[in-house]
Structure 1
Amino acid sequence: MLDDFLTRAALAGTGLSLATGPLGCFVVWRRMAYFGDATAHAAILGVALAFAAGLPIYAGTLTVALAMAATVAALASRGHAMDTVLGVLAHSALAFGLVAVSFLPGVRTDLQGFLFGDILAVSRLDLAWVWGGAAAVLALVAWNWQRLLTSTVNEELAQAEGGDPRRERLVLTLALAVTVAVSIKIVGALLIAALLIIPAAAARSGTRTPEAMAATATAASVLSVLAGLGLSLHLDTPAGPSIVAAAACLFALSLPLTRLRRD
């Protein structure tokens, strides 16, 4: 079954959706969309470092993504404006990554594959990385679910209950870093933020509890992957952007539900 490239692509997209669904909900609730972009841009620098050191691509991207998460958390805790910090780090990391790749001798790689993804080229090893990373993220979010929810709703309440909002922010940033690292070959550095945000935004319209929103976001993400792959197959369009376009269509279809709830 895994010899079929389309089956591998569907399995990879489904595995990624298990992480982006619930994690994307926290990105929407906490308004962390820009952090997803910053971490994804930094992943290109990880690609360059992996080529330079002869390491697997996932190892390089994961290392840089985790470093980005730690740096952002450290600077934010010192009072720096979060949007400014993210803007500086995101564009700087992307620029340094693109420059570094151009100087690597003997390396010929299509950067478009890392910027926009190439889900149709997913291998069995890639599947192992994706499902392993997604399982780790899902377990981390599930284990910290109630604490994450409480600190998202009210940090003072979380502190009163003995929680540490800074720890929960770190948990989310680490989970985002792992998700970005394992997704770079599927939807690419420039599209992962869209896959995190759009299904969660679509799920927000028709759900009433956090758990229902997380489940609906996961289902919407899986549906986007399958619909995008079908669109790519029949219209010969790029797979990664097609997946995001399918997610955008789901979001558009969810808008009437928002108006109904307001009425």
Structure 2
Amino acid sequence: MTLLDDFLIRAALAGIGLVLAAAPLGCFVVWRRMAYFGDATAHAAILGVALALAFQTSVFGGVLVVSLVMALTVSTLSNRGFAMDTLLGVLAHSALAFGLVAVSFLHGVRVDLMAYLFGDILAVTRADLAVVWGGAALVLVLLWWRWSALLTATLNPDLAHAAGIDPRREQLVLTLALALVVAVAIKVVGALLIAALLIVPAATARAFANTPERMALAAALIGALSVIGGLQASLHYDTPTGPSIVCVAALLFLASSTAQLLLHRRRG
């Protein structure tokens, strides 16, 4: 018997691996006000699941391909004058609806929709751990490589152009990273909660950080605390694990926002 034989250890490792990738990426989502962008990409994951099962291929591969197509579609259309909020609303809900309908046409295939919608982190296997940590490593390497250019393009597109940085190329880098995180996260927290795990820890960290790097590190720490706290709450209260993780993250955000508000009042 080894350490990885314990399902709780595997669940914790999977969650921490996911938040390590989601934290810095989530910071860019918050800075660029792309929350709905993450939602649309995540909702497309269900369509990817349906197509993967229909063609009997890897669910991870199917989700990655469809999420990437969705992210590229949104990115392309947004650069052609479409209203971003309306476009994302249409694509997000349409992708989820088409995915759920497509799943209903799969005969002879047992599909646990709840697991794909809300995750099943307690059922993570060693192979899933390898996928999660491999995907997280790729995202972190990609963000580390493009960190300076991504920051410049996010904070000041005009300055980025002057420095020879193409903001559209940097948006493509974020698109690739986001699609990869969605594909990795489908087993851990599910399609409906991926965006929350991207955004909530980053939004919470905003109150404690005065540099982008510190915000990314704080978001990773908050995400890890959410995973551990959510697992403990799920075990103690017998609640769904994925939603419990997001609930803990939301409570940390509430505590952070309250502390920040009280601090401003004292200074005022």
Both structures adopt the same fold (TM-score exceeding 0.5)? yes
Which structure 2 residues correspond to residues 85-100 of structure 1 after superposition, within 5 A? Answer: 85-100=87-102
- 8 A Cα contact 1:2 1:8, kept in partner: yes
| CA deviation vs aligned residue, 1:74-109 (integer Å, no higher than 9, x gap) | 111222122222112111111111111101110121
1-side partners of 2:95 and 2:200: how far apart? 24
Paired residue total: 263
Please list every run of 5 or more consecutive structure 1 residues that lacks an aligned counterpart in the other structure: none
**Identity value in percent:** 68
Q: TM-score scaled to structure 1, two decimals? A: 0.98
Q: CA deviation at 1:258?
A: 2.3
* Partners of 1:22 and 1:152 in 2: CA distance: 13
Aligned partner letter, 1:178 = L
Gap runs ≥5 in structure 2: none
**TM-score in terms of structure 2 length:** 0.96
2:11 corresponding residue in structure 1: 9
3-state SS of 2:89 partner:
helix
Q: Choose the corresponding residue for 2:242, options 235, 240, 243.
A: 240
SS for the counterpart of 1:132 is: helix
Aligned counterparts of 2:64 and 2:264: Cα–Cα separation in 1: 40
Matches within 5 A, 1:6-85: 6-85=8-87
Residues 11-49 of structure 1, C-alpha deviations (whole Å, 9 max, x = no match)? 000100111111111111110000111011100000000
What letter is aligned with 1:197? I
Q: In 2, distance between residues paired with 1:110 and 1:68?
A: 23
The separation in 1 between residues aligned to 2:86 and 2:255, in whole angstroms, is 34
What's 1:181 paired with?
A: 183
Specify which of 208, 211, 220 is matched with residue 209 of structure 1: 211
Q: Is the 8 A contact 1:206 1:257 kept in 2?
A: no
Give the letter aligned to residue 87 of structure 2. Answer: V
- Give, in whole Å, the separation in 2 of the partners of 1:258 and 1:163: 35
Moved more, 87-96 or 1-10: 87-96
Q: For residues 86 and 253 of structure 1, what CA distance do their matches in structure 2 show?
A: 30
Pick from 198, 223, 227: which aligns with 1:225?
A: 227
Q: CA deviation at 1:257?
A: 3.9
Structure 2 residue matching 1:144: 3-state secondary structure: helix
1:134 lines up with 2:136 in the alignment = yes
AA at the equivalent of 1:132: G
Structure 2 Cα separation of the partners of residues 159 and 79 of structure 1 = 20
Counterpart check, 1:160 vs 2:159: no
Report the residue type matching 1:254 in the other structure: S
Letter in 2 for 1:133: G
SS of structure 1 residue aligned to 2:4 = coil
